[in-house]
């Protein structure tokens, strides 16, 4: 039997914000009832301030899925949509005073629903459906794509097959995909294992090729998925000393909050994952 925190039990037995926002400004659908979990998140946004003034959910799933959805709606209300996007699946778990390792996929589902709902808002309110993800299906039992697995590995620093299952459910049924999962895990973590010494090098001591390699890994694995969820993207252009030059595209290009995104998200993620000296500059 899993050990649930008091907050998890509270949000399961007394879920907040159940239902659907009327005339929602953003609607995100994730999961699949056939596979066991599904979540619909709707948002009401003050378009003058971009603040989320209401959030409701409908969840089909276990107690952890319901509790995670309830917690998420409480966490995002009062935040701007960009501030809400900074909420991670780990933040959801922490808000609930922790989730059993085997139930972390419930917080991941909440995070994905938030990305889909915000993307929906930025696209003018058209619902965004992640319940039928495009891409190569690795786990056929739960319909989990390679892209989703890679994203989970990078965002949560996953090291084992068991953790992949905990965060994505992939491999949790028939197990036939475990060989493929191990190959993906090895591939994603390969650059960390090839040269242990390289991990402890200062950024200034790395070769230009090593610097660029590390930057591109963070851009493609951590930053780009978040921007793509909003209809945008980012491209590495050049490196000048500790200044990373990038080009924004899609909905990010020309966006009024582009400078804030570069400074408060892109730059901070590069500093956190690589080196505090890194600065980001946009190339038009």
In angstroms, the CA 273 to CA 197 distance is: 16
In angstroms, the CA 6 to CA 259 distance is: 41
Residue 29 class from Cβ within 10 Å (0-12 exposed, 13-18 middle, 19+ buried)?
A: buried
For the chain, the farthest-separated pair of C-alpha atoms sits apart, in whole angstroms, at: 55
Q: Which residue has the tokens 């390792």?
A: 101
In angstroms, the CA 156 to CA 185 distance is: 12
Q: Is 35 a known active-site residue?
A: yes
Q: Which residues pair with 80 in a beta bridge?
A: 51
In angstroms, the CA 148 to CA 281 distance is: 29
Q: Of 35, 62, 141, 255, which one is the catalytic site residue?
A: 35
Residue 131's φ and ψ, nearest 5 degrees, are -75, -20
Contact 177, 171 (CB under 8 A): yes
What is the Cα 44 distance to its own chain's centre?
A: 21
In angstroms, the CA 239 to CA 15 distance is: 48
Q: Of 62, 106, 141, 193, which one is the catalytic site residue?
A: 106
| Assigned token pair, 267 | 């730059």
Active site residues: 35, 106
């Amino acid at each position: 039997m899993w050990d649930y925190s008091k907050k998890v039990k509270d949000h399961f037995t007394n879920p907040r914000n159940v239902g659907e926002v009327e005339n929602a400004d953003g609607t995100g659908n994730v999961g699949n009832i056939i596979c066991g979990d599904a979540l619909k998140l709707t948002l009401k946004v003050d378009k003058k301030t971009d603040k989320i003034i209401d959030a409701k959910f409908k969840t089909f799933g276990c107690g952890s899925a319901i509790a995670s959805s309830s917690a998420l709606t409480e966490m995002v209300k009062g935040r701007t949509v960009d501030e809400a996007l900074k909420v991670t699946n780990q933040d959801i778990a922490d808000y609930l005073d922790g989730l059993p390792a085997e139930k972390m996929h419930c917080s991941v589902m909440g995070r994905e629903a938030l990305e889909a709902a915000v993307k929906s808002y930025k696209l003018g309110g058209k619902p965004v459906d992640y319940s039928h993800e495009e891409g190569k299906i690795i786990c056929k039992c739960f319909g989990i794509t390679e892209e989703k697995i890679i994203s989970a590995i990078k965002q949560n620093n996953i090291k084992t097959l068991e953790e992949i299952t905990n965060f994505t459910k992939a491999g949790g049924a028939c197990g036939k995909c475990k060989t493929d999962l191990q190959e993906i895990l090895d591939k994603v973590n390969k650059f960390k294992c090839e040269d242990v010494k390289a991990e402890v090098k200062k950024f200034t001591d790395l070769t230009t090729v090593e610097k660029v390699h590390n930057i591109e890994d963070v851009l493609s694995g951590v930053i780009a998925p978040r921007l793509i969820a909003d209809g945008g993207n980012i491209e590495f252009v050049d490196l000048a000393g500790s200044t990373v030059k990038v080009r924004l595209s899609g909905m990010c290009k020309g966006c009024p909050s582009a400078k804030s995104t570069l400074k408060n998200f892109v730059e901070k993620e590069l500093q956190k994952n690589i080196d505090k000296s890194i600065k980001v500059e946009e190339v038009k």
